Amino acid sequence: MDTILITGGTGLVGQRLSYMLTTSGYRVIHLSRKENLNTAFPAYRWDIEEGYIDETALLQADHIIHLAGANVASQRWTKKFKKIAIDSRVKSISLLAKKLKRLDKLPKSFISASAIGYYGNRGDEILIEKSPPADKGFLSETTVRWELAADEVVSLGIRVALLRIGIVLSTVDGALPKMMLSFKANVGAWFGDGSQYYSWIHIDDLAKMFQYAIEHEDIRGAYNAVAPNPVTNKVFVQTLSKAMDKKSLLLPTPAFTLRLAMGEMADIVLHGSRVNADKIQATGFDFEHPELETAVRDLIARGI
């Protein structure tokens, strides 16, 4: 039974992934700011600013899944927060690489989260893994630096895969519950003109993809972790209304209103990218939830 070490294991994706890996027969442990060994997923302490990792965790790890990073949607993008967001990603990988370099036993693979923010705001251009990153924008800058940091792990001879994650759909947390909230009053809204593409993924398909990357030695480098059918923001809202069986009034939220309320962080909802999933599918990976309406209906029915 292989042991999977997860950073960021208490986040939305980390919790679901930990559960699914365990049900598949893996042993799961976490790195956390606080040690707690008396849980279903034992947590060993690490501190990025102190440069500390409990090496007991690293020595147990047959594979590492790296999810840690400050949530870029958690607050306004001040200069201070931008530094926190980038450092939480770059410094954490650098610390892991530094500590792994000292060990005699290395993990078989290092699977790191990345994000489709890499591509920036690209209209209806179809984006594949070889597409260049955006030449400007905080999300793209953050993601590019995040991926470059993983080269430190590659240099150790460890197989590294980077999953560029789209909008993760779950009814527990993230973007979907916030979008669903307005429908309780039978009103829904798209953002700006609604033409920006939203590349999304059902949380179980994402967890399944991380497991797939662990189990397939040919998976290395960058892969888009998105469902094969992205939709525009306006279609997303219309489909969400249908999936919730709501006959709602659908209205636009002007871009300038969002900019006033959110500042630069409005890029998260006003910008979009039409991201292609062909590369991961070509390896034999199958999506259980490739269509938005059935994906949302499944999430609502199962409460995940």
The parent domain of residue 213 ranges over: 3-302
Q: Which residues contact 302 (CB under 8 A, 6 or more apart)?
A: none
CATH number where 167 lies: 3.40.50.720
Measured CA to CA, the distance from residue 86 to residue 82 in angstroms comes to 6
259-281 tens-digit pLDDT = 988 999 889 999 999 999 999 99
pLDDT of residue 4: 98
Asked if residues 220 and 160 have their Cβ atoms less than 8 Å apart, the reply is: yes
What would the two tokens of residue 271 be? 């910008």
Q: How many domains would you assign to the chain?
A: 1
Q: Which of 51, 25, 47 is nearest to 35 (CA)?
A: 47
pLDDT of residue 247: 83
116-150 tens-digit pLDDT = 999 999 999 999 999 999 989 999 999 999 999 99
145-200 tens-digit pLDDT = 999 999 999 999 999 999 999 999 999 999 999 889 888 778 888 999 999 999 99
pTM for the structure as a whole: 0.96
SS3 of residue 33 by DSSP? coil
CA dihedral over 156, 222, 292, 117, signed as positive or negative? positive
